[in-house]
Chain A
Amino acid sequence: MSKVIVVTSGKGGVGKTTTSASFSSGLALRGNKTVVIDFDVGLRNLDLIMGCERRVVYDIINVINGEVTLKQALIKDKNCDNLYILPASQTRDKDALNLEGVERILNELKESFDCIVCDSPAGIESGAFTAMYFADEALVVTNPEVSSVRDSDRILGILAAKSKRAVDGLDPVKEHLLITRYDPKRVEAGEMLSVTDIQEILRIPLIGVIPESESVLQASNAGTPAIHLDKSDVAEAYRDVVGRFMGDEGLPMRFVTVEKKSFFKRLLGGR
């Protein structure tokens, strides 16, 4: 049974695309045949983060309009055998992304993929709505910051009331809280909302915490999803997220407390 997972947040710049790239790569590394779809028509960026921008020929709108087949538009990922990318259109009007067309594409993808990851645009307009409408599960990406938490709450309201599952009266969309750009040092100093604070406010199960890290920028510079980085806490944290999503038990929540660096580590400047 294939799953449609939306990566959403409401607010922009919190790490949806970074998460979509690493999460879909992680699912593929675990043996799931995975496709990741960019829903940000007009402002596509997933291709850059995945490092396949120069191989984009066709996009999701071409497929919806019947100009090309799905197979022609899918781009095989350079790092994972099991992963494909369906880019958004950079030029078209965002209204070209209609619900009927998207449903047709998703149904076709479900025939050959285990996991379909939908990278939502920011906001609550049609693009974001279309990305979440068909979801079975949702990763709600939230920064420990007031506007992001508020927007996530809004998105949760929309998932609960307006998604296809809600409209059809099926089991609700399974929601997962993913906290990104977390800085335990600032939390300890009382300058940042803690994991517990955010959980108490949003009241959905936590799937992971991604620490604030310089390596995210380095990953995007290189066009390699952060999960592939060596010795990076971000990569480890994303692997944990994928593990929990796949049902691995007993994974401790890492990177949520200040790490006491040993003298040697400090001397060597390791991170």
Chain B
Amino acid sequence: MIAGLISYLRGNEKKTAIVAKERLQIILAHERAGRGAPTPDYLPALQEELMVVIAKYIHIDRESINVQLEKHGEYDVLELNITLPDKMRLNR
């Protein structure tokens, strides 16, 4: 009670409703992120097939292609990264 009186006199106690809101915002952001579809299982196959197509035209190795699904706010972004070999860049 004395502690309560002191904090009342100081007037700096954070209202519990504000604490509740902040805690909810943090935990729900975390839970919503985890709730989205886990990495779809077609990604490795997609990567493999893209690899075959690209290899027809450009000589690249397996490590230079990367496919991933990312979440940017409301949108899911399918990201495709192909690193071209150094030699080819020199030819241009």
Query: What residues of chain A have their CB less than 8 Å away from a CB belonging to chain B?
Result: 145-146, 149-150, 153-154, 157, 161, 187, 189-194, 197, 200-201
From B15, which residue of chain A is reached at the shortest CB distance?
A190
In Å, the complex CA distance between A187 and B15 comes to 10
B89 touches A (CB below 8 Å): no
Find A197's partner among B21, B31, B32 (CB 8 Å cutoff): B21
Residues in chain A near residue B18, CB distance under 8 A: 190
Find A150's partner among B21, B28, B35 (CB 8 Å cutoff): B28
In Å, the complex CA distance between A149 and B32 comes to 13
Pairwise interchain contact B32-A153, C-beta atoms closer than 8 A: yes
The interface size of chain B toward A, counting residues with CB under 8 Å, comes to: 14
The contact string, 1 if C-beta is below 8 Å from chain A, for chain B 71-84, is: 00000000000000
Pairwise interchain contact B28-A146, C-beta atoms closer than 8 A: no
Pairwise interchain contact B28-A187, C-beta atoms closer than 8 A: no
Pairwise interchain contact B35-A146, C-beta atoms closer than 8 A: no
In Å, the complex CA distance between A190 and B14 comes to 9
B27 touches A (CB below 8 Å): yes
From A196, which residue of chain B is reached at the shortest CB distance?
B21
In Å, the complex CA distance between A189 and B17 comes to 9
In Å, the complex CA distance between A192 and B17 comes to 5
Residues in chain B near residue A189, CB distance under 8 A: 15
Interface Cβ pair total, 8 Å cutoff: 39
Residues in chain B near residue A190, CB distance under 8 A: 15-18
Residues in chain B near residue A149, CB distance under 8 A: 24
Pairwise interchain contact B27-A150, C-beta atoms closer than 8 A: yes
From A189, which residue of chain B is reached at the shortest CB distance?
B15
Pairwise interchain contact A191-B15, C-beta atoms closer than 8 A: yes
Pairwise interchain contact A193-B17, C-beta atoms closer than 8 A: yes
Within 8 A of A (CB), among B1-54: 15-18, 20-21, 23-25, 27-28, 31-32, 35
State whether A154 and B31 are in contact (beta carbons under 8 Å apart), knowing that A191-B16, A197-B17 are contacts in the complex: yes
In Å, the complex CA distance between A201 and B31 comes to 13
State whether A193 and B32 are in contact (beta carbons under 8 Å apart), knowing that A150-B27, A201-B25 are contacts in the complex: no
Pairwise interchain contact A146-B15, C-beta atoms closer than 8 A: no
From A201, which residue of chain B is reached at the shortest CB distance?
B24
Pairwise interchain contact A187-B17, C-beta atoms closer than 8 A: yes
From A188, which residue of chain B is reached at the shortest CB distance?
B17
State whether A201 and B21 are in contact (beta carbons under 8 Å apart), knowing that A150-B28, A153-B28 are contacts in the complex: yes
Chain A nearest CB: distance from B16 CB in Å? 6
In Å, the complex CA distance between A174 and B15 comes to 34
Residues in chain A near residue B21, CB distance under 8 A: 193, 197, 200-201
Chain B nearest CB: distance from A230 CB in Å? 33
In Å, the complex CA distance between A189 and B13 comes to 12
Pairwise interchain contact B17-A150, C-beta atoms closer than 8 A: no
